[in-house]
Amino acid sequence: MTTETAESALDYEEPIDRVSFNFELTRRQFVQVLGAGLLIASFDAPVDGAQGRGGGGRSVAARLHIARDGTITVLTGKVEGGQGARAQITQAAAEELRVAPSRINLIMADTSLVPDDGITAGSRTTPATLPAVRQGAAAARMLLVDLAARSWSVEPSQIELRDGMAFHAPTGRRQSYADLASSDQGTQAFAAAAPTSVSVTPVSQWKVMGVSFPRPNRRDLVTGAHKYPSDIVRPGMLYGRVLRPPSYGARLVDVDLTPARAVEGVVAVRDGSFVGVAAPNTFLAQKALEAVAKTARWEPAPHPNSSQVYDYLRSRANVPGNPFAAELSAAATSLRQTYHVAYVQHAPMETRAAVAEWADGLLTVWTASQNPFGVRGELMQAFRLGADRVRVIIPVCRGSRMCPNWTSNC
């Protein structure tokens, strides 16, 4: 299994230590959170070579759950950042399950619950994740048809699903998805791997997909009700500030934390070159940070400056030969120009923030990122924790605009 995927080849050259981890679905987690019912677990077949960045090997990932009360929960590792992933995944599941989109409860980017659908980037959700969601939902549809057929002792071909109900036209009988999920045969917390041949709904029969669909949480956006990662508040939460080095890779030689600790309610920590303060509000945290910053002495790492950086990069770049050399020499006229472009930082409107909570040895982090499982891997490494002790949740957040927000904030 290759660790480089279509996503990473397209967009990300950053040197990141990929953590290969092995996450296991626990039955108990699902029953606790989603209740008993039908759980559709499927091998998410890679499409176009893209695959969830799950680390080593394929894993059985749960895609969909139908509770005994008929609640339909769909699970995805994709992130909503304003680009519409929530809407389209909801539509796709609704289409295949023959229900209105309002019936779909979509859980996104909670590493304790969802499959690793890979980083949200490169416009991959549509060509890679949507087929996986449709296959999972279509598998659920086949299972529902099968359950209904067996319960009535009829041929599956005589069963039609519509608006959350299974119908047997010849006899007029009907059952809801809730009925089917509660039935004796339906009461299984895990399905086997989904059938390998699952037929998704052809385009010509689409009723929900291909139709303009209003963004599910739009009202919350215009009322200010929506909670972005930087709006998350947890009991007993403190507001943190990190002491930033004057330049990349600088070493903290000396610092005095006592002025920070003199501010009421402030916690200050140092670990090597990392210094952080936390206080009951941001004003106090900033005061504490400024007090500490005054005492810090740094040893900078050598770097080229802004005027030297172009020659620095050029001397180290592996520039391939010009593939158009022949055309160039055959041209009537050729022009040559050099452009120096300053580094451009992605800057979504929401500032980078994270909330981290430790409880009973479990670390939960809310942050804005395109890569929940990547963040989880880095936290596992940083704090030497297993996958079951770290939970990363990406709320619907600011558009990241192709900016992989890694774990630094956490």
Which residues sit at the interface with other proteins, rule CB under 8 A?
A: 81-83, 214-215, 218-219, 221-228, 230-231, 233, 239, 281-283, 347-351, 396-399, 401
> In the bound complex, what is the minimum distance in angstroms from residue 371's beta carbon to other proteins?
17
Q: Tell me which residue has tokens 């300053």.
A: 342
Residue 308 three-state SS: coil
> In the bound complex, what is the minimum distance in angstroms from residue 356's beta carbon to other proteins?
17
Q: Tell me which residue has tokens 């299972």.
A: 143
> In the bound complex, what is the minimum distance in angstroms from residue 20's beta carbon to other proteins?
31
Nearer to other proteins, 162 or 244 (CB): 244
> In the bound complex, what is the minimum distance in angstroms from residue 107's beta carbon to other proteins?
19
Nearer to other proteins, 283 or 324 (CB): 283
Residue 73 three-state SS: strand
Nearer to other proteins, 1 or 221 (CB): 221
Beta-carbon contacts of residue 396 (< 8 Å; ≥ 6 apart): 80, 81, 86, 108, 217, 226, 228
Which alpha helices (H) appear in 270-371, and where do they start and end?
282-295, 309-316, 325-330
> In the bound complex, what is the minimum distance in angstroms from residue 374's beta carbon to other proteins?
20
| Element spanning 392, H or E | strand 390-393
Nearer to other proteins, 223 or 307 (CB): 223
Nearer to other proteins, 196 or 351 (CB): 351
CA angle 404/405/407 to nearest 5° reads 130
CA atoms within 13 A on the CB side of 45: 12
> In the bound complex, what is the minimum distance in angstroms from residue 83's beta carbon to other proteins?
7
Nearer to other proteins, 376 or 398 (CB): 398
In the numeric block, which tokens belong to residue 206? 């689409």
Within 10 A of 5 (CB to CB), how many other CB atoms are there? 22
Q: CA distances (Å), 327 to each of 257, 297, 331, 389, in order?
A: 64, 56, 6, 58
> In the bound complex, what is the minimum distance in angstroms from residue 252's beta carbon to other proteins?
25
Nearer to other proteins, 123 or 196 (CB): 123
